[in-house]
Structure formats: C-alpha cells, structure tokens
Structure 1
Amino acid sequence: MPRLQCPRCLRPETHCLCPLIPCLSSRTRVLVLQHPSEVGHALNTARLATMGLENAELRVGEVFEDLQGVLSDPNYRACLLFPGEDASPLAEVSSDLRPMLLIVPDGTWRKARKLLHLNPALADLPRVTLPSNLQSRYRLRKAPMAGALSTIEAIATALDILEAPARFDALLRPFEALIEGQIVAMGEETFQRNHAGGE
C-alpha cells in the first residue's frame, strides 16, 4: 500500500515538513530556475526555499521563454547569484535603492551552466557571489568545492546579507529536519562511518 503524501511539501504524511516551513517576507524577490533533473531529488531544497518565502518563485525548465520580461521589471534590479571572474561580492552591491531580483540557478554546477548557456539573458546579468568561507550544513554530501552550499542555504545567506539586520535562519528549519531524518534512517553508526568528520 503506497504511503500517503502531503500535497504541499510532497513528503510522506508521517514526515510532513509543513509545520517547519515559515512564511517570511522580503524586499528582495527571489526567482529560482530549477533544472528538471532536480525536481525528483529527495531534498529539493529550492522548492523548500520558495515555499518559505512570500516574494519567491520557482520555475522548472531548461529554456525560459518569458525571462526577458521578468528581468526588465523597473521595480527591481536583476542580478544572477553565480560565481565568475566578474562577479561582485553580494555585500558590495546591496545598497541600491531598488530591491534586488535575485536569480538563482538550481542544479549541479554543470546543469546550472547549461541553464546559463540556453538562456542568454541570464549570461548578460551582473553576477553576485556569497562570501567564500561558508560551510554547508548538508552533512550527507561532500561539497564539490570549498564554500559550496545547497540552494536553500545560498538563498538564506544571500537574504541575510541583503536584508540585514533581518535574519532568515527559519528558512533552514525544514532543510535541517530533512537531514536529521536521513541520518536517523541510515543509522548513527553508518552516518559516523561514512559522513562524520570525513573531510
């Protein structure tokens, strides 16, 4: 008999995350462009992030036809959260009078680069980056590079910078509960052997 699923967070009803998902407001508008390969991912942190933010949207696809219209909204200054040689630290660009439209690609690094390639309007945007010394809370997967965060961590960190002194830690509660649940499911001994302190 299939397990009943929560229609909102898509988790089994016995592990529903909805009570942990906040409803946070922000000046910054967040648009997550998710590669289709991420939709079925067990954690799907991009979805959790946009569910917890009032001024956020998740779009799934590879080519986004109406992107130019979204990016040209005069009420927002569009920036792409993605590393690059010409990227500026987010803290240095957060003083503009207009709120930011923060575009966040969601996928592996290779898939995220593909999104940029398939959507030239993204490649033309000013790029912003997070501080390089950040540590991911995702204890079940070794980061592909120093400072790499999950999508929900990157969004929460970006909003902490852009909207200081407001804090967005509450956005991470369902993410941390998911990780704890996976650790419990695998057993503490297996976690310690395979993941704890394995840097």
Structure 2
Amino acid sequence: MSRPQCPRCLRPQSHCLCPLIPRLDSRTRVLLLQHPSEVNHALNTARLAALGLTNAELIVGEVFEDLPKLLNQPGYQARLLFPAEDAQPLPAYAANDQPMLLVVPDGTWRKARKMLHLNPLLAALPRVTLAEGGVSRYRLRKAPGPGALSTIEAIVQALETLEAPSTFAPLLKPFEALIEGQIAAMGEETFQRNHGDR
C-alpha cells in the first residue's frame, strides 16, 4: 500500500515540502527539461526549482517536439546550461540588457547528453557554464567531479550570477529539508559510515 502523496511536490503527505517552497520572481526565464527517469526520484530538485520560481517551466521527456516554440521566447536569448569547450561563463551575461532563457537539462550526465543527442536544436544552443569551485550541499551523493551541483543548486548559482545582488537562496530551503529528512531516515550512524568522509 502506497502512502498518500502531495500532488504538488510529489512527496509523501507526511513529508510535504510545500510550506518551504518560496515563490520567487526572476528576470531570467528558466526552462527545465527533465529526463523521465528523474520524475519519481526521491530528490527531484528540478521540480522544487520549477515550483519555487514564477518564471520557470518544467517539461518531462527525452525528445521535445515543441522545442522550436519553447526556445523562441520573444525578448529572451536562449542559452543552454551545460559544459562544453566553447561554453561562455555566466558572469559575461550578467550586465546584458536582454534577459536570458536559461535551458537546464535535468538527469544524470549520461542521460542529459542523450537528450542533447536526440534534440539537435537543443545541442546547437550556445552554452553557458557556472563559475568553477561551486560546492554541493548534496551530502547524500558522491559528486562525479569538483563543481558538480544538483539541478536546484546550479539554478540558484546561475540566477545569483545573472541577477546580482538578488538572492535565490530561499530556493534551497526545501532541498536542505529533503536532505536532512533522508539523513534522519537512514540514521546518523549509517550516514556517517556511508557519507561522512567526503
């Protein structure tokens, strides 16, 4: 028998995060393209980001038929937040007059690359990257490398770069509560044994 689920945050009703999710305005439009395998993930941070930002949209899929329409938002310049040799650092856009449509793939690195491969229009977008040295608060997962952040952490860092001095830290409140809840569920001893030496 499954536990009753909150229809908004998709968490069990007993662990609903909705009271912690802010409603933040941003000049930047955020388009989250989520791989279907992430939808039921316990730490679905893309959904938390989409719920917390008034100017964000979350679309689930592998192939996005509506991509031409989604990317052609009048008044916005579309950029893909994904590493590449020719990716521009986000601070270069901070003073730009035209707001950005920040396209963020959500999935494992492998699945995100597959999404780019299956959607040539997505792969062809100019790419932007975050400043190096970001440290993830995601204490339950071993990062694949330095600067590897969860989707919500990457969005917060990107928005704070593009829209300084505005802060988007409140977006991280439900994420941190989620992690604390997972640690509490596994027990401090198990957490320390499996994750404490990172």
TM-score normalised by L of structure 1: 0.97
Query: Counterpart amino acid of 1:23?
Result: R
Partner of 1:27: 27
Deviations 1:157-182 (A, max 9, x none): 10010111000000000000000000
Partner of 1:174: 174
Equivalent residues in 2 for 1:70-85, closer than 5 Å? 70-85=70-85
Partner of 1:130: 130
Matched residues in 1 for 2:36 and 2:87: separation?
A: 26
Partner of 2:146: 146
Matched residues in 2 for 1:178 and 1:19: separation?
A: 13
Gaps of 5+ in 1: none
RMSD: 1.0
In the TM superposition, residue 73 of structure 1 has moved relative to its aligned partner by: 2.3
Partner of 2:106: 106
Matched residues in 2 for 1:2 and 1:114: separation?
A: 32
Structure 1 40/2 Cα, relative in aligned 2: closer, same or farther at 3 Å?
A: closer
Gaps of 5+ in 2: none
In the TM superposition, residue 53 of structure 1 has moved relative to its aligned partner by: 0.3
Query: Counterpart amino acid of 1:161?
Result: T
In the TM superposition, residue 193 of structure 1 has moved relative to its aligned partner by: 1.2
* Greater than 4 Å deviation, 4+ residue runs: none
After alignment, is 9-18 or 47-56 more displaced? 9-18
In the TM superposition, residue 8 of structure 1 has moved relative to its aligned partner by: 1.1
After alignment, is 90-99 or 46-55 more displaced? 90-99
Say yes or no: does 1:59 pair with 2:20: no
Query: Counterpart amino acid of 1:108?
Result: T
Partner of 2:10: 10
Partner of 2:185: 185
TM-score normalised by L of structure 2: 0.97
In the TM superposition, residue 27 of structure 1 has moved relative to its aligned partner by: 0.5
Query: Counterpart amino acid of 2:5?
Result: Q
Percent of counterpart pairs with the same letter?
Answer: 73
Deviations 1:115-149 (A, max 9, x none): 11111111111100001101000001010111000
Matched residues in 2 for 1:113 and 1:2: separation?
A: 33
Matched residues in 2 for 1:32 and 1:21: separation?
A: 17
Deviations 1:23-77 (A, max 9, x none): 0000000000001111111111000100000000000001111111222223100
Aligned residues: 198
Matched residues in 2 for 1:180 and 1:117: separation?
A: 36
